[in-house]
Amino acid sequence: MMKVSWLQDQLPRLAEHLESSAEELNGLDAQLGDGDLGVTMVRGSRQLLEIREELPDDWGMALLKCAQAFTKTSGSSYGTILATGLMAMAKQKKGQAEMDSSEWAGLLKVALEAMQQRGKAELGQKTVLDALSAAQKKLESAPETGLLDLIEVVQQTIEEFRDKPCQIGRARIFQDKSIGLDDPGMVAFKRLLEGIVPN
Amino acid sequence: MKKLLNDPYKYVDEMLVGMCAAHPEIYRQTGEGGRVIARAGSQRPGKVGIVSGGGSGHLPVFTGYVGHGLLDACAIGDVFASPSVEQMAEAMKVAHAGAGVLRLYGNYGGDVMNFDMAGEQLEMEEDIQSTTVLLADDVSSAPPEEGEKRRGVAGMVYAFKIVGAAAEQMRSLEEVTRIAQETADSCRSVGAALTPCTIPQAGKATFEIAEDEMEMGMGIHGEPGVWRDKLKPADDIAHEMVDRLIADRAIDSGDRLSVMVNSLGATPPEELYILYRVVKKRVEDLGATIVMPLVGRYATSMEMSGVSMTFCFLNQEREALMQAPASCAFWQVK
Query: Per-residue pLDDT tens for B4-55?
Result: 999 999 999 999 999 999 999 999 999 888 999 999 998 999 999 999 999 9
Amino acid at site A113: E
Other beta carbons within 10 angstroms of residue A20's beta carbon come to 12
Of all residues in chain A, the one with the smallest CA distance to B32 is A72
Helix locations, B23-126, DSSP H: 85-95, 109-126
Model confidence pLDDT, tens digit, residues A112-168: 999 999 988 899 999 999 999 999 999 999 999 999 999 999 999 999 999 998 888
DSSP letter for B232, please: P
Percent of chain B whose pLDDT exceeds 90:
91
Give, to the nearest 10 degrees, the angle between helix A128-141 and helix A104-119: 160
Helix locations, chain B, DSSP H: 11-22, 85-95, 109-126, 155-168, 173-185, 234-248, 269-285, 316-323
Is B98's pLDDT higher than 90?
A: yes
Using CB atoms within 10 A of its CB, is residue B210 exposed (0-12), middle (13-18) or buried (19+)?
A: exposed
Contact call for residues A35 and A78 (beta carbons, < 8 A): no
Beta-carbon contacts of A176 under 8 Å, excluding residues fewer than 6 positions away, are A165
User: What predicted TM-score, i.e. pTM, was given to this entire model?
Assistant: 0.91
Model confidence pLDDT, tens digit, residues A14-47: 999 999 999 999 999 888 877 889 999 999 999 9
Percent of chain B whose pLDDT exceeds 70:
100
B83 touches chain A (CB under 8 A): yes
pLDDT-based confidence at residue B275 (cuts at 50, 70, 90): very high
Partner-chain contact B124 A68, CB within 8 Å:
no
Supply the pLDDT for residue B237: 98
Q: What is the pairing mode between strands B36-39 and B49-56?
A: unpaired
B201 touches chain A (CB under 8 A): no
Partner-chain contact B82 A75, CB within 8 Å:
yes
Is A199's pLDDT higher than 60?
A: no
Partner-chain contact B116 A118, CB within 8 Å:
yes
Give the N- to C-terminal CA distance of chain B in Å, as an integer: 40
Taking the CA atoms of residue A143, residue A145, residue A150 and residue A156 in that order, the dihedral angle to the nearest 10 degrees is -100
Contact call for residues A77 and A169 (beta carbons, < 8 A): yes
Residue B23 known to be catalytic: no
The residue-averaged pLDDT of B66-85 equals: 95
Supply the pLDDT for residue A120: 86
The residue-averaged pLDDT of B154-166 equals: 98
What are phi and psi for residue A33, nearest 5 degrees? -130, -135
Give, to the nearest 10 degrees, the angle between helix A4-30 and helix A184-194: 150
Classified as helix, coil or strand, A133 is helix
Is-cis flag, bond preceding B144, omega within 30? no
Enumerate the residues of chain B whose CB falls inside 8 A of the CB of residue A67: 121
pLDDT-based confidence at residue B202 (cuts at 50, 70, 90): confident
Classified as helix, coil or strand, B256 is strand
Enumerate the residues of chain B whose CB falls inside 8 A of the CB of residue A77: 109-110, 113
Partner-chain contact A94 B124, CB within 8 Å:
yes
Beta-carbon contacts of A27 under 8 Å, excluding residues fewer than 6 positions away, are A35, A38
Partner-chain contact B121 A67, CB within 8 Å:
yes
Classified as helix, coil or strand, B332 is strand
Beta-carbon contacts of A127 under 8 Å, excluding residues fewer than 6 positions away, are A119, A121, A166, A168, A169, A183, A185, A186
Half-sphere exposure of A169 (CA within 13 A, CB side): 24
The residue-averaged pLDDT of A51-71 equals: 95
B110 touches chain A (CB under 8 A): yes
Supply the pLDDT for residue A132: 97
CB pairs < 8 Å spanning A and B = 50
Chain B closest-CA separation from residue A56 CA (Å): 13
pLDDT-based confidence at residue B97 (cuts at 50, 70, 90): very high
What are phi and psi for residue B306, nearest 5 degrees? 150, -175
Helix locations, chain A, DSSP H: 4-30, 37-51, 59-73, 77-93, 104-119, 128-141, 147-162, 175-178, 184-194
- Checking A33-40 for CB contacts under 8 A at 24+ apart, the result is A33/A169, A33/A170, A33/A171, A33/A184, A34/A76, A34/A170, A36/A76, A37/A76, A37/A78, A37/A184, A37/A185, A37/A188, A40/A70, A40/A73, A40/A74, A40/A76, A40/A78, A40/A79
Supply the pLDDT for residue B110: 87
Contact call for residues B157 and B211 (beta carbons, < 8 A): no
Mutation target to probe the B interface, by most B beta carbons within 10 A, among A70, A74, A80 is A80
Amino acid at site A112: L
Contact call for residues A131 and A155 (beta carbons, < 8 A): no
Is B233's pLDDT higher than 60?
A: yes
Partner-chain contact A90 B124, CB within 8 Å:
yes
Residue B68 known to be catalytic: no
Question: How far apart are alpha carbons B322 and B316 in whole angstroms?
Answer: 10
Question: How far apart are alpha carbons A69 and A23 in whole angstroms?
Answer: 21
Beta-carbon contacts of B139 under 8 Å, excluding residues fewer than 6 positions away, are B150, B188, B189, B190, B244, B245, B248
Give, to the nearest 10 degrees, the angle between helix A37-51 and helix A77-93: 40
Mutation target to probe the B interface, by most B beta carbons within 10 A, among A58, A59, A61, A68 is A68
B139 touches chain A (CB under 8 A): no
